[in-house]
Each structure stands twice: as structure tokens, then as C-alpha cells.
Amino acid sequence: MNAETFPPIPFLDLKAQQARLGAGLKSRLDAVLAHGQYILGPEVLELEARLASFCNAAYCVSVSSGTDALQIALMAEGIGRGDAVFLPAFTYTATAEVPLLLGATPVFVDVDPRTFQIDLNNLQERIETVKRAGKLKPRAIIGVDLFGQPADWPGIASIAAQERLFTLDDCAQSFGAVQNGVRLGRSADATATSFFPSKPLGAYGDGGALFTESAERAALYRSLRTHGEGTTRYEVLRTGMNGRLDTMQAAVLLAKLDVFEGEIARREAIAQIYDAALNDVLEPPARMPDSQSAWAVYCVKLPDEDTREAAKAALAAAGIGHAVYYPRALHQQPAYRASHDDSALPVAESLGGRVLALPIHPDLTNAQVARVAATLTQALER
């Protein structure tokens, strides 16, 4: 195949999605311009109700980003100095940044070599190590649903119950995913998601949401997202932040929510095409048992870094978008080295050189998916 004969295949195509959303999106935005309630307008309330019912959660509190959702959730528990927060080492920086920002210590946990999700045996070991050292108080586990797939929530919940830890689901990449017949949103004490444009349900700017079954937590989240306000605007009960989702983003999300389930189904179909087409040259991404992925990322694992670099070069030459999530485990990043206790986390450390994400946005055609798979196959057969 010759690159010049084909137009490029973008990793993400928000323009195609916008064209598909059409008039529904415009009328949602026009409604906001007409009423002018740009902060906590009616679309924000409508979105919170729709999101809560989408994942069958008792409460949804929309916020300004996925990162702020994580921060508000930890602030509400009073997590800070002297507290240990356990989280996977192979994730986006926001997961670890938030506990550190609040004065707590992120304790990095290794991940499973097949699913890339938090490794529960290592989680238990890391908790024991912190308890034995006696310097930090174990307080919380942030489970990350990486790349669209749920983490092992029944497993995390049982360790958390035994150790009396707060569970926070970092569902930034996986809103819409299902585990044991239940959508993510109520698998942990609190669930945080992100509406960053490239996430499965993306806004046209920053946004996020928190879900919980607890009325007390939901009330705290509402207070914290508006400067710790009480029952009136100028009653300040606690240190909070400016953490609201704005009405324009809520309007965009309402329009996108109408097509969201169809998009997840399309992503699943694309994943299956890739699985079948790539089966001869690599092992398809492992699925979590009894789960349906939201397919934020279709991530393959190559034998070594040289092979991965060759694959990247072949895709680039063919004009095919691709990405490496994540080139380095968090405990190896300069920002987190001082928080880490020098334990080896061999799986997280090795994945950075081997992973490669292929385009999986819902506007890809089957022919484009086939071309991505053929290009990668050719590169790997060399």
C-alpha cells in the first residue's frame, strides 16, 4: 500500500463527530446563549440528572474537570498530610497529582501485565508495607479504569472493606463501561469522571463529574465545588475551590449523551475488527472478565521497544494517528520520585516501552480500521 493514495487517518476526529451531531448540538448551544445562565444554568441540572440515571447512581455532581473531581472527592474525606493513597503506577498523572497536592502521599501499585489494571496482590503487599513502616496512615485506594475497561472493583472493594479504606474510582477514561451488568458510577464510594474532549464522553473544553450513593458526600461535593459555600452564597463553611462545570459544556454534553451508547457500540465493533485482523501478529487486548469496555483506547502490547518504534514509524509513514499511553510509569517521573519508596514495580516499568494505541474513535470506517490493521501487520511481519 502506498501512503499517497490514502488520506490520513486521524487518531481522534471531533470534526466528524460534530458534523454527525448536527442541529441538535447547535440548538443546545443557542438555548444557553438565549437564557444567559452561564454558571449552573438549567443544562447543568439536566445533565446531572441524565448522567445519574445513565449509570443508575443516586447522585451526580458535575465539576470543572476530571482532576478537580478527584480532588473534591479526596478533600471531602479530609485526606491530607500523613495519609497514604494507593493507586496504580501506570495511569495518567492526574491520579497521583491530586493526593500529592493535598499533602498526602501517593503509594504506587504495580499493574497486571495482560489487562494493565491495578494488581490486587501487589496492592495488598503495598498496604502491608505502609502499615509495617508505620509512618503513613492508609486512607484510600484510587482504582483507575484504564483505557475504557473497569478495574477489578469487587476485588478492590473487598480489600478496602478489610482495611477500612475509602474507595475512589478514577473513571476518567471509562464512563459508560459495564462490570457485572452494572455501569461504572456506583462501584466505589465515589466515582470521578472526565469530559476532556478526547474521553469517550467529551465536552468542547474541560469538564468532569462525581457520582456517589451518599447524600452527605454529594452535599459536600456541591459545597466544595463552590468555594465551600453553605446554604447561602456568602456563608463559607470550609475551604473549597472554584470547581463548577459551565453551562456551555453541559449543553454540549447533553447533545453528545444522545448518541453516546451508539458510539460505545461502534467502538466495540471496531475493537472486534482489530482483534480479528491483528490476531496473527499480536495478542489482542485482554478484556476484564464480565465487563464491557468503553474503549477510550485500543492499546496493544508489542514484544519490545524496537518493535514498537518500528510500528510507530510504519503508521506515521502511512498517515495513521497513534499514541503511546504512557511512555513512563508515574513513580519514574521526576515529579513523583521523591514520594516513591524505591520498590520495583516491574510490570508498570516495562509497559512504557511496549504499548501502542491505535485509533478507535466512532467515526472510523471499517475500511480505515482495516487499513490501520494491515499497516501494523506489515510492520510486524517484517
Ligand X SMILES: *Cc1c(COP(=O)(O)O)cnc(C)c1O
Cell of 315: 503508521
Smallest gap from residue 172 Cβ to ligand X (A): 3
Task: Name, in order, each residue with C-beta under 8 angstroms of 307's C-beta and a sequence gap of 6 or more.
Answer: 380
Using the rule CB under 6 A, which residue among 166, 196, 298, 326 binds ligand X?
196
Using the rule CB under 6 A, which residue among 194, 247, 291, 292 binds ligand X?
194
| Region 302-341 residues binding ligand X, contact defined as CB under 6 A | none
The residue (of 170 and 318) whose beta carbon lies closer to ligand X is 170
Using the rule CB under 6 A, which residue among 99, 148, 208, 243 binds ligand X?
208
Give yes or no for residue 249 binding ligand X (CB under 6 A): no
Phi-psi region of 321 (alpha: psi -120 to 50; beta: other; left: phi over 0): beta
The residue (of 88 and 362) whose beta carbon lies closer to ligand X is 88
Q: Of the ranges 91-99, 112-120, 148-156, 361-369, which one interacts with ligand X (CB under 6 A)?
A: 91-99
Smallest gap from residue 70 Cβ to ligand X (A): 6
Residue nearest to ligand X (CB): 66
Site residue total, ligand X (CB under 6 A):
15
Site string for ligand X, 54-83 (x = CB under 6 A): -----------xxx----------------
Binding site for ligand X (CB under 6 A): 65-67, 91-92, 94-95, 144, 170, 172-173, 194, 196, 206, 208
